[in-house]
């Protein structure tokens, strides 16, 4: 796999930062150089959150992803804000249960996945981020299956370890849908 710059964006509370951290940890398990950078400050309290994740074979320069290889958009403002920044040939993953609008770009691969619906149908409301992670994993193979699971285990706080299997299920659903 080549270097991968990922930008995840959505509302606060959708688990954007958490998802980024799972990816970064999985990358670390894979032996890559990794970085994770959140948006911070009042902007977060205003309801939007985004997070840059870089995975590389080499030393990472700027951790701020301005031209992502992969954009994950979990709300409409994020899609509108970042769509044009994606590198040609890149990937845009859209939670289609939240965003009705279609991607205008034709030079990128667009994946629509009703992540929120899928999570809810399977009784795990609020885990759309993990469904998307599963999809992202399937599309980019940024690490081994084993390391993805290790990344997940490293990221879930010890007190919330009872949610591990539910998260695993959502990742699986994302890969299959």
Partner 1 sequence: MSDKVLMKGNEAIAEAAIAAGCRHFFGYPITPQTEVAAYMSKRMPKIGGVYLQAESEVASINMVLGAGAAGVRVMTSTSSPGISLMSEGISYIAGSDVPCLIVNVERGGPGLGGIQPSQSDYFQATKATGHGDFHMLVFAPSTVQETVDLISDAFDLGDKYRMPTMILSDGLLGQMMEPVVLPEAKDPTDNKEWAVKGHQGKRAHNVVNSLYIDPKELEDLNIARFEKYKKIMETEQRAEEYLVDDADIVLVAFGASSRIAHSAVDMARKQGIKAGLIRPITLWPFPEKTIKKHIDHAKVFLSVEMNMGQMVEDVRLTVQDKKPVHFFGRTGGMVPTPKEVLEQIVKLNGGEC
- Nearest CB to partner 1, comparing residues 56 and 96: 56
If one asks whether residue 35 binds partner 1 (CB under 8 A), the answer comes out as yes
38: closest CA among 47, 50, 26? 50
Backbone conformation region of residue 9, classed left if phi is above 0, alpha if psi is from -120 to 50, else beta: beta
If one asks whether residue 107 binds partner 1 (CB under 8 A), the answer comes out as no
Question: How many other CB atoms sit within 10 Å of the CB of residue 154?
Answer: 14
Question: How many other CB atoms sit within 10 Å of the CB of residue 116?
Answer: 21
* Near partner 1 by CB under 8 A: residue from 41, 46, 88, 123: 41
- Nearest CB to partner 1, comparing residues 35 and 78: 35
DSSP letter for 10, please.
Answer: E
* Near partner 1 by CB under 8 A: residue from 37, 76, 87, 156: 37
Residue 167: phi, psi to the nearest 5? -65, -40
- Distance between CA 30 and CA 61 in Å, rounded? 19
If one asks whether residue 62 binds partner 1 (CB under 8 A), the answer comes out as yes
Q: How far is the CB of 46 from partner 1 (least distance, A)?
A: 13
- Nearest CB to partner 1, comparing residues 17 and 115: 17
Contacts with partner 1 by CB under 8 A lie at: 21, 24-25, 28, 33-38, 40-42, 59-64, 66, 154
């Amino acid at each position: 796999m080549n270097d991968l710059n990922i930008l995840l964006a959505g509302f606060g509370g959708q688990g954007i930062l958490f998802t980024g951290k799972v990816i970064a940890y999985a990358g670390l398990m894979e032996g890559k150089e990794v970085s994770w950078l959140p948006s911070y400050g009042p902007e977060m309290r205003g309801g939007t959150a985004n997070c840059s994740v870089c995975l590389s074979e080499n030393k990472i320069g700027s951790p701020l992803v301005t031209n992502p290889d992969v954009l994950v958009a979990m709300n409409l403002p994020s899609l509108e804000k970042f769509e044009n920044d994606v590198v040609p040939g890149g990937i845009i993953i859209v939670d289609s249960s939240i965003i009705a609008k279609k991607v205008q770009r034709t030079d990128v691969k667009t994946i629509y996945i009703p992540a929120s619906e899928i999570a809810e149908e399977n009784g795990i409301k609020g885990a759309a981020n993990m469904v998307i992670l599963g999809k992202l994993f399937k599309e980019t193979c940024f690490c081994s299956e084993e390391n993805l699971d290790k990344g997940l285990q490293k990221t879930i706080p010890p007190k919330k370890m009872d949610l591990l299997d539910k998260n695993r299920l959502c990742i699986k659903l994302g890969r299959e849908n």
